């Protein structure tokens, strides 16, 4: 069945580069004489019929903007069959033949269920700062997030050195340590705690003591928010059981990592993937996620993208240990 109109939405957590992806979807669709509708507020907007027609002007001057012009939402209503049926009926009213969804694991899960129930062609774009989706080397927003975190860590380093203190910095990464690992290496951290690796508090305490033995006045510890030892305050509490006189400070970077103008790398990645998503639909393929692997476009099923765990490069942990010695 030919596609005449594509709907595009962003869902879940926002990520820098989402606007660049929306722009690429809209401009590519128009180039191929397709109509485009923007669904505002993600899957919730589909249920609430917040659907607008988009043209080339709709995406002018947005490639450099963070966030998402279509807004985003974590919709509990879409988790129900009733909610999904309402969304499908609204799509039909607007003549939408296919969907392109931009988001993370939850977005892909919703798309997979929706495709199964209504057989609507859907393609997903990996829009998440966590870089934890299988089927792509990098997700949209990841590069910007680690650059933002690294900039903040550089400034924290200045204060740490000035006061000869230990700083514990928590970065995002509830289930994955990609952000922590890369920012820890580029920030020269003495230790990096990630969910994928067992982290013994005793080992971290020894690392700090070794640093003092080498006359290190200040030290920097990066903690992924989902680390098995807990968040940054829990880690510090456990460390103080081992080193009662520890002089330290805690910093949680939080949502600052989500915001800001996307880097050049994220803009190019989002543009390539947005274009590829439209072309994938035109080539008759759907229920897949678009990724970039070894600089080549790759398609994986939603089920694989959701269920297969993407592992960090554990050799980078060893590299961080060597470089911090």
* CA-based nearest residue to 27, from 42, 8, 41: 8
Q: Which residues contact 96 (CB under 8 A, 6 or more apart)?
A: 5, 6, 7, 37, 51
Q: Are β-strands 35-39 and 51-54 bridged in parallel, bridged antiparallel, or unpaired? A: antiparallel
Catalytic residues: 130
Contact 264, 143 (CB under 8 A): no
Q: What is the 8-class DSSP label of residue 187?
A: T
What kind and span of H or E run contains 215?
none
Give the integer Cα–Cα distance in Å for 206 and 200.
10
* CA-based nearest residue to 109, from 175, 202, 55, 43: 43
- Structural tokens at position 307: 């269920």
* CA 298 and chain centroid, separation: 18
Give the integer Cα–Cα distance in Å for 41 and 48.
9
Give the integer Cα–Cα distance in Å for 102 and 9.
6
Sign of CA dihedral 28, 30, 34, 39: positive
Widest distance between CA atoms in the chain: 70
């Amino acid at each position: 069945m030919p596609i005449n109109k594509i709907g595009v939405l962003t869902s879940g957590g926002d990520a820098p580069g989402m606007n660049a992806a929306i722009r690429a979807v809209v401009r590519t669709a128009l180039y191929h004489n397709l109509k485009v509708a923007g669904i505002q507020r993600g899957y919730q907007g589909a249920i609430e019929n917040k659907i607008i027609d988009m043209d080339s002007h709709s995406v002018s001057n947005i490639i450099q903007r963070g966030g998402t012009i279509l807004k985003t939402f974590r919709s509990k209503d879409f988790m129900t069959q009733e909610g999904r049926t309402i969304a499908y009926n609204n799509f039909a009213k607007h003549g939408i033949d296919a969907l392109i969804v931009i988001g993370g694991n939850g977005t892909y899960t919703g798309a997979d269920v929706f495709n199964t129930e209504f057989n609507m062609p859907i393609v997903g774009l990996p829009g998440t700062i966590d870089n934890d989706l299988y089927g792509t080397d990098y997700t949209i927003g990841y590069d910007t997030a680690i650059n933002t975190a690294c900039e903040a860590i550089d400034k924290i380093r200045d204060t740490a050195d000035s006061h000869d203190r230990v700083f514990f910095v928590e970065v995002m990464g509830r289930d994955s340590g990609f952000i922590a690992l890369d920012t820890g290496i580029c920030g020269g951290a003495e230790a990096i705690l990630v969910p994928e690796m067992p982290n013994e508090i005793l080992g971290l305490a020894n690392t700090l003591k070794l640093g003092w033995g080498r006359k290190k006045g200040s030290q920097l510890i990066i903690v992924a928010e989902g680390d098995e030892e807990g968040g940054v305050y829990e880690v510090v509490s456990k460390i103080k059981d081992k080193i009662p006189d520890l002089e330290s400070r805690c910093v949680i970077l939080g949502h600052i990592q989500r915001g800001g103008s996307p880097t050049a790398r994220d803009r190019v990645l989002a543009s390539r993937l947005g274009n590829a998503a439209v072309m994938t639909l035109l080539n008759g393929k759907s229920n897949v996620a678009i990724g970039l692997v070894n600089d080549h476009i790759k398609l994986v099923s939603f089920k694989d993208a959701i269920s297969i765990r993407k592992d960090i490069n554990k050799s980078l942990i060893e590299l961080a240990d060597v470089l911090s010695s």
